[in-house]
Amino acid sequence: MKQTLSTQPSSPAGQTNTGIIEALPVIAYLSPDPLDDDSYIEEDWISWIPGYLNSEEYGVSYLHPHNIDLARRIESFTEEQFQKAFKRLKSLWHDKYVKQMTVGIDYSGMLGSDGTASFDYVRSEPECGHYSFAVHRRLLYRYANQIIQSEQAASDNLGIWEHEIIHALDYRQILIASAFRDSKNPLNGLTYYTLRYREEGIANLLALLDGDIDGVHSIHEAKALFTKNCERVGKELLALEETSDNDRGKIFEGHDFYEAGPWLILDMLSDYYSVVHEIDMASIEKRIQNKETFSESEKLGILSAALKFISTSWFLSSIDAYLYTEGQNHN
């Protein structure tokens, strides 16, 4: 059946009337932009980038033609990597309005992340067709090295961007979960902690189906780990009258969102797959454990079902029985 963008009177840039995105409008940019007169930049914010030329020939080194060229190459390279990752997932965007995706390259570390890349739900405006992402210094270091060494083939670790693009598909649920994120209420902190397993579990689902997840090897193992962690985190949080960002950061350390989360999502899809597809989730679990290959349609079908059915409210409504049952198994 033909799919249409029912919420939009006409197709946005790069999108056809059937809702399939043909040419993704993505813009990567250094943030802050060295060529923007309104930007304030310290030399040591940017001079660490591999391939950067320290020279005062043009007053400040970031205005040297060599460094301007390096910056533009990094931006183009980032766009290319993002495009490649998006290509795999574009069929899941058939009902989304996409006008532009932007990727801020955070060379200064102002965003404070020690990760590789991120989806910025705060700056994103899906109702306007705008989705915002960021490259952090670890990934920028890798990209710059690959550019100056001409190792383009080695750069295609697209799982980083696939993970973040899946987060963007999950925007509404992430926004709902964010209401618990900064609360000082310990119970809200525990709720947010459990929801991280949902968020990262869905975002890492393709990685599991690709055979790229290690550390947790079964649904049972994931459930036991989840239960153990929630009991520990809950005990530590609820011992406090209120919590700070620092408290939550320390208590949440040692999490297994990325490893256990995808297995939990598979478990929560069991009823759907048994009723709709007449497939026992145990057979899918066994295929993963045996390192069998899934077709792309199978992988995207499982991911699509997770995004559609495992909402924040569904996840939370399942937690009590989920934890209780697993807890009984350990008694």
pLDDT of residue 16: 47
pLDDT of residue 208: 97
pLDDT of residue 154: 52
Q: Residue 9: CB partners within 8 Å, gap ≥ 6? A: none
Q: Specify whether the CB–CB gap between 253 and 268 falls below 8 A.
A: no
pLDDT of residue 271: 83
Beta bridge partners of 105: 30, 135
φ, ψ of residue 116 in degrees (nearest 5) = -100, -45
Identify residue 175 by its one-letter amino acid code: L
Q: What is the Cα–Cα distance from 294 to 300, expressed in whole angstroms? A: 10
Q: What is the Cα–Cα distance from 278 to 281, expressed in whole angstroms? A: 9
- The stretches of 28-181 forming alpha helices (DSSP H) are 43-46, 65-89, 137-148, 159-169, 171-181
Q: Specify whether the CB–CB gap between 103 and 78 falls below 8 A.
A: yes
**Cβ neighbourhood burial of 260 (10 Å; 0-12, 13-18, 19+):** buried
The CA-to-CA distance between both ends of the chain, in Å, stands at 51
> Nearest-CA neighbor of 92 among 299, 268, 311, 315?
299
Could you state, in chain order, the average pLDDT of each consecutive group of 10 residues for the chain (331 residues)?
30 47 83 84 90 85 92 95 95 95 94 85 96 96 89 70 98 96 94 96 97 94 93 94 92 89 94 80 94 96 95 87 54 44
**Residue entry with tokens 């109702």:** 127
Q: Rounded to two decimals, what is the model's pTM?
A: 0.88
Q: What is the Cα–Cα distance from 147 to 74, expressed in whole angstroms? A: 7
Q: Residue 321 has which token pair?
A: 């029985």
Beta bridge partners of 102: 27, 132
Cα 167-173-178 angle, rounded to 5 deg: 95
Residue 109 falls in which region: left (phi positive, over 0), alpha (psi -120 to 50) or beta: left
Q: Specify whether the CB–CB gap between 257 and 276 falls below 8 A.
A: no
